[in-house]
Chains A and B, each alone.
Chain A
Amino acid sequence: MNNILLVALREFRQITRMRSFWLTLLILPVAISIAPLTQRFMGESEADRVMIIDQDGGVAGREIAGRLRLEEDRRSLDALARYVQRHRIAAPATAPWARNDRYFTDAEVARFAAEGGATGALERLKPAIPADVPDFTPPEPRYELVTPPPALASLTGATLDQRLETLLRPASGSKADPLDAAIIIPAGFLRTGTAKFASSGRPNPQLVGTVQEVLTRSLRQGLLTQSGVPAPVATAVATVTPNLMIAQPAPGSGAREALLVRSILPLASCYLLMMALMLSGSWMLQGTIEERSNKLLETVLATISPEQLMYGKLLGTVAVGLTMIAVWIGCGVFAAFATQGAIADMIRPALAPLTSWTTILTMIYFFIAGYIAISVFFLAVGAISDSMNDAQGYLMPIILMILLPITILIQGVIAGGQGIGVTVMTWVPIWTPFAVLARLGTGIPAWEVFGSGLLLAAFVALQLLLLGRLYRASLLAQGQKPSLKELAARLRGRSPEAA
């Protein structure tokens, strides 16, 4: 046992001294730490700078500006309502943000804005917000309204176009902030029904929609008034909207959302197993081939048996893999509980299964058994290969055989995990660890966990027996690629070297 530990320790040290190990180890923490930045960069860009030039008395222009402010307030109100619901904060029942179950009416949004918007609401909420609840982050504004220079109000035609051009696309070297869009309401708009939307690039469809909606309302109201409809009625007709009740699950608790959140940890462990295996397996393979090509096997085998060498290598590789996974899980836990933001919000509920000891033990068992079961293939390839080129020839079909079905399996689990393919893969030992780990989130019967676990243990025992024979027979048999017949003889322990 002592020699096995010595070999394992040497193997562990050799791998953990490799640059590629550290690069791989740091990938996940770096990814987690830059995820919020990525979100920011990948998410919506800065607010659109919008200028409204109303040459028709200012009514339509004010309405567009008011609508844009209203939409911004609606987004704040919506975000606040979700925040209150997600963190189960006791909110005053009469406050609009106390419920997250409908499309907020203009009146509710207006009331929200009148009461100080998100800032005012948070002031009122403050005493009810528990200490461990992260601060509310209001959504970034989508629009910035830019006041037009007075001179623009009187410009028309080509002169106005020329001036707008400089505002939308300033000359290179100019320090002026370019506009993203300019909305021009020309004199006589209510009569002609023609307005202009100038954009510095591809028009923002949401902004176009809002402008279109407001101007349509103005035109409709104008027409109704001109047709003799009393002004209050005309306004009511033009602005009437349904009170749309929206039934939606609490954040993270929708059927599909809940399934995904519940499956994050099992699926992540399945992915981690796959990643750690492929990486540490290839490092172990390199080490085994190095021992063969550097002709140091004879020196090693004079002091320890092939089986001790084999078990030591397996142990060292499993230790490397578990170290990587421990570091990654540690980073995940840190990200979940020591940071705020979307990543933390996603990881925290995903860690919920770890409150069950049965789940933890099941995950650890299938993780380690899976690690050994697949590492054995790498070790076997190392034992019969003289170079990495040789090894690639054997390894490619093995990797494809293991990984391709797993990608299909993961899709199957995300889709609900009830398909016959997922069940079949649970009972094929080389896929069992992945299938059971992935299915833990969607629910897997206990008898399947026990049964497939036992089958996996028997498979690993058989693998180790066969690998021991192959290892003893192959380690010193250099120079020729073994034929299938020779491989079979070695696995049966009938090769002369294995005698």
Chain B
Amino acid sequence: MGETRLQTADALVLDRVTKKYGDFTAVDDLSFAVHTGEVFGFLGGNGAGKTTSLRMVLDIIRPTSGSISVLGRPPGRENAPFLGFLPEERGLYRTMSAIDTIVYFGRLKGMTPGDARTKGLALLDRFGLAANTKSTVGQLSKGMAQKVQLATAVVNSPQLLILDEPFSGLDPVNQGLLEDEIRRASDKGATVVFSTHVMQHAERLCDRLLLLARGAKKFEGTLDEARALLPARLFVTARSSLDGVPGVAECRPQDSPSDGWQDYAVTLQPGASAGDLLEHCSGNNIALRRFEERRASLHDVFLHMVGTEESAK
């Protein structure tokens, strides 16, 4: 199965997709595209609509309106041979052995028993579970079972790997293993879509990302584009406030003054640059002991864009 690959510019396209449960709108007119080969982050708080969107992509549930294209085809089980999926809520058949579990899911995705077994054994070996191939899932530790679950998702070398909150519940070692696996899949040409609310993972892994709040898209673009949504913050130590200086929107003292010096957090006016401010200060003999520019983090952007929505709930 793995030899056949579907050729398409966008691995995943959602076009004006809405999902309603009675009066409640879980996903609201959502449109975005994931380009083939990229790692795409699907960010949002709890209840933002991430899982619902991914379930629609997998045809586990159907949208109320709008259309979805997966590897150029409508959602459906016929896409299963090309997809890998790791759900947020994980679980396996407790009485099945690790290798039988992987072979079972491999076969459900259209692999031959031989291929599924060979790939499964290689994956278990790579995940440090070579000695546990015949152990039942019930006999494995939680971390081991999570590795087996990951193996079921990637056993078919999927073209599109969909991971729903993949890092939740993982210890740091397994988080590293999962990050490696995402990079490995991406290096082999797979498109990876993962949802998360842990921004550090998205910052480290994503080529592009989408911010979702209350089912609606708030942002879609690259990490740099996301960070540029918020003005950079300046931290300066000066003898007096920079209020009134051109380009400064706000200058808030931080700690108590020490020997006449005071730390300030400076917010620039839109369009103003840190360089212009520094030039102004030095040209006007405004004494500075520290001048530090901090660009907004994804976490800041998330809080700025989604936090208000979440608090509004």
Interface residues of chain A, those whose CB is within 8 Å of chain B, are 3, 6, 10, 14, 17, 290-291, 293-296, 298-305, 308, 476, 496-497, 499
Contacts and interface: CB of A to CB of B under 8 A. Distances in A.
Q: Which of B89, B91, B92 has the most CB of A within 10 A?
A: B91
Contacts of B55: 298, 476
B286 interface: no
Nearest to B92: A296
A304 B60 CA distance: 9
A295 B61 CA distance: 16
B91 A296 contact: yes
Given A298-B55, A476-B60, A497-B61, A303 B94 contact: no
B104 interface: yes
A8 to B, nearest CB: 12
B87 A496 contact: no
Q: What is the interface of chain A mostly: helix, strand, loop, or mixed?
A: helix
B90 A302 contact: no
Interface centre among A295, A302, A305, A499 (most CB of B within 10 A): A302
A10 B113 CA distance: 14
Given A290-B93, A476-B60, A302 B104 contact: no
Given A295-B87, A302-B85, A499 B93 contact: no
Interface string B85-116: 11101111111100000001101110000000
Given A10-B104, A298-B87, A476-B61, A303 B80 contact: yes
A296 B62 contact: no
Given A302-B85, A496-B22, A496-B64, 15 more contacts: A290-B94, A294-B93, A294-B94, A296-B91, A298-B55, A299-B90, A299-B152, A300-B108, A302-B80, A302-B87, A308-B77, A476-B60, A476-B61, A497-B21, A499-B62
A293 B61 CA distance: 19
Contacts of A14: 93, 95-96
Interface in B38-97: 55, 58-62, 64, 77, 80, 83, 85-87, 89-96
B105 A299 contact: yes
B104 A6 contact: yes
Shortest 4 CB-CB contacts between residues of A and residues of B:
A294-B91, A295-B91, A296-B91, A295-B89
Nearest to B109: A303
Nearest to A300: B108
B149 interface: yes
14 contacts: A14-B96, A290-B94, A294-B93, A295-B90, A298-B55, A298-B85, A298-B87, A299-B87, A299-B92, A300-B108, A302-B80, A302-B85, A308-B77, A499-B61
Interface string B150-189: 0010000000000000000000000000000000000000
A300 B92 CA distance: 9
Contacts of B104: 6, 10
A293 to B, nearest CB: 8
A206 to B, nearest CB: 58
B108 A304 contact: yes
B79 to A, nearest CB: 10
Contact of A298 (B89, B95, B96, B108): B89
Contacts of B94: 290, 294
B64 A499 contact: yes
Interface of B: 20-22, 55, 58-62, 64, 77, 80, 83, 85-87, 89-96, 104-105, 107-109, 149, 152
A394 to B, nearest CB: 23
Contacts of B107: 6
B60 A302 contact: yes
Nearest to B84: A302
A17 B95 CA distance: 9
A496 B80 contact: no
A303 B61 contact: no
A205 to B, nearest CB: 59
B278 to A, nearest CB: 53
Contacts of B21: 496-497
A499 B61 CA distance: 7
Nearest to B108: A303
A291 B93 CA distance: 7
A303 B95 contact: no
A32 B62 CA distance: 54
Contacts of A301: 58, 60
Contacts of A476: 55, 60-61
Contact of B58 (A293, A302, A496): A302
A302 B62 contact: no
Contacts of A10: 93, 96, 104
A141 to B, nearest CB: 56
A476 B58 CA distance: 14
A14 B108 CA distance: 17
Contacts of B64: 496, 499
Contacts of A302: 58, 60, 80, 83, 85, 87
Most chain B CB within 10 A, of A14, A298, A304, A476, is at A298
A497 B105 CA distance: 24
Contacts of B83: 302
Contacts of B95: 14, 17
Contacts of B60: 298, 301-302, 476
A177 B89 CA distance: 74
A326 B96 CA distance: 26
A35 to B, nearest CB: 34
A305 B77 contact: yes
B89 A303 contact: no
A229 to B, nearest CB: 89
B86 to A, nearest CB: 8
Nearest to B89: A295
Contacts of A496: 20-22, 64
B11 to A, nearest CB: 16
B85 to A, nearest CB: 4
B250 to A, nearest CB: 46
A300 to B, nearest CB: 8
B19 to A, nearest CB: 8
Contacts of B90: 295-296, 299
A6 B108 contact: yes
Nearest to B63: A499
Contacts of B93: 10, 14, 290-291, 294, 296
